Structures are given as structure tokens and as C-alpha cells.
Amino acid sequence: MSAENQAPGAGTFRSLDRRSMLGFTAAAVTGSLAACASGSPGRVAGHSGAARQRFQGKVVLITGATSGIGRAAALQFAAEGGRVGFCGRRENLGRQVEAEIRSHGGDATYIRADVRDESQVIAFVNAVIGKYGRLDVAFNNAGVTLEKPLHEYTSAEWDDIVNTNLRGVFLAMKYEIPHMLAHGGGNIVVTSSSNAIATTATRSSYTASKRGLVGLVQSAALDYVSKGIRINTLIPGTTDTDLVRRVGHMEHVPDAVWEAAARTYAEATIPMGRMARPEEVAAFALALASDDFPYMTGAQMVLDGGKTAHAR
């Protein structure tokens, strides 16, 4: 559910932030629709016959998996043999993801839960354990954003962002880790944001929460390094998700208009010239959650198309 931003680029886009860049009208982008359609990278199906089965027999818990990166990860974990228990607040979308995984022979259970509510997090984790008997992997991915100058935030708005993005991960880990300890270890991946490294205006609450996750993971990784639990941070850049589309105020425009606006924005602001696909970020999360890197813990792994590498 990552909603990353990118510092303005050169030329005519230098003074434009993401909201203004993506807030094009249909008339403003119609001329570039054909180019967008011909140049867009193809989508990768999350359940398209994974060659590897790295999670065969493992139980995987995911927060925020009803859309975006979390949804793509749920499909991919299941495709690689994982038994997936996942949550999200939008029940209709959660049921759709669960049904899609099962229709392709995977094992998944959706449980409605809000990571801001400790009692719901406890119930969610316990339900996954009750269903599958153990916990091997956790992908703590739930997150939200809100963009406005700092003094315009209400304290309730600030708390909502921080309680979802930072406190929600703390709560998830607090109740996941005892189950991992009981079975000799596990692997936790936390979704932060490239804004934890380099951010822009109007993103103070989001940036504070996402940068806080880096410190949380670093310290927690040291708490459990001798207990067989590895904890790492995934730092994605701008990803083409419904959340990013909503932030750009383009959730109600035709898909072709959104794609053209997103392409224009990305070419002006991201060195690789496009947003990440949710499936790409999910694939990286799976790599971090696998046993492929047994010496990695407390790390911050960046996947951002060059966003935080290029000069401003």
C-alpha cells in the first residue's frame, strides 16, 4: 500500500509536486494516450506458475493485502506454496483476493482487521495461527498517506498516519514474534518508503512514520538476531497503486488518462522513467522473506528506479 512521492525533475516540471503532476485533466493528456499505451510495461500475473516454491509448507501473514503491493504479494506467496493469512479493512476486496488465490489452487484466508486497533491485530494474528498452526513469514505492509503542509494537519490526522504506518507495524510484530520464537525463528519484512531517505513538501507525517520504521526494524532485528528471526525493511519508490492514484486525485478518471498522466509524471521525476509495478515490489518482498539471504537482517533494501540516487 505504499504511496511514494518523488522530488520534482528538471525543466518545466521543476516546480511541480506529485499532486499537481498527476492532477492533469483528460484534455491535457489525451494527446499522449497512444504513446502511453504502446510504451507501458506489461503486467505480471501474481499467480502465473511460479518456477520456485520457496514458501512450500510455510505460513505467511500479510497486513494490508487487499490491494496494491500487499495484494500482489499475497498472490505471489501463494503461487510459491505459502499458506497465506492476510488482512485489510476493505472486506469486499479481501474476499476477492482470497477467491482469486483459491481459484488458482492456492491456500489463503482473509480476515478483516485494522492495524490501528490492538485488539483486532491480536485477533488477526491468533486467527492465522488457529487456521494454520504456526507462523514462518510476516510481511507488514499496511500503510496510508495524507499530503498537506505540516501546520494544516489536525492532530487526529497526524495520529491516523502514524498509528497506521508505525504503530501498526509495532503491534503486528509484537504479536507475530512470540509465535516465531515458539517455532525456532522466522522472517519479517516491513514496507517503508523511499520517503524515508529523500522526501518532499507536504509529507511530514508520512515521512516521519516511514523513517521511524527504519529505526524500528534496525533495533528489533538486533533483539532477535540470536533467536533465528530476521527482520528487514523494504523501501519501494513510486508504485502504480490505487493509493497513488487517489493521492493524485485521479481515482475517477478513465484508466487511459491515468496511465498517460502517470507516464508523464514518471518521465519527469524518476530516472528509470516509470513507476514500479506492484508485482515488481512484491517479488522483491518475497526475495527478502525467503531463505535466499540468511546473512541479511536489519537491512534497508531500496527498489525505487533510481529515485534516491539521482542529484536534485
Q: Domain spans of the chain?
A: 54-256+277-303
User: Three-state SS for 84?
Assistant: strand
Residues marked as catalytic: 206
Pairing mode, if any, of strands 107-112 and 137-140? unpaired
Q: What pTM does this model have?
A: 0.85
Cα separation of 246 and 85, whole Å?
A: 27
Owner of C-alpha cell 487517489? 246
Contact 216, 169 (CB under 8 A): yes
CB 241 within 8 A of CB 70: no
* 116 touches 93 (CB < 8 A): no
Q: pLDDT tens digits, the chain, 312 residues: what are they?
A: 443 333 323 232 233 355 544 443 333 333 333 333 333 333 334 544 457 999 999 999 999 999 999 999 999 999 999 999 999 999 999 999 999 999 999 999 999 999 999 999 999 999 999 999 999 999 999 999 999 999 999 999 999 999 999 999 999 999 999 999 999 999 999 999 999 999 999 999 999 999 999 999 999 999 999 999 999 999 999 888 877 877 777 877 888 888 888 888 888 889 999 999 999 999 999 999 999 999 999 999 999 999 999 755
What is 54-256+277-303's CATH number, 3.40.50.150, 3.40.50.720, 3.30.200.20, 3.40.50.300? 3.40.50.720
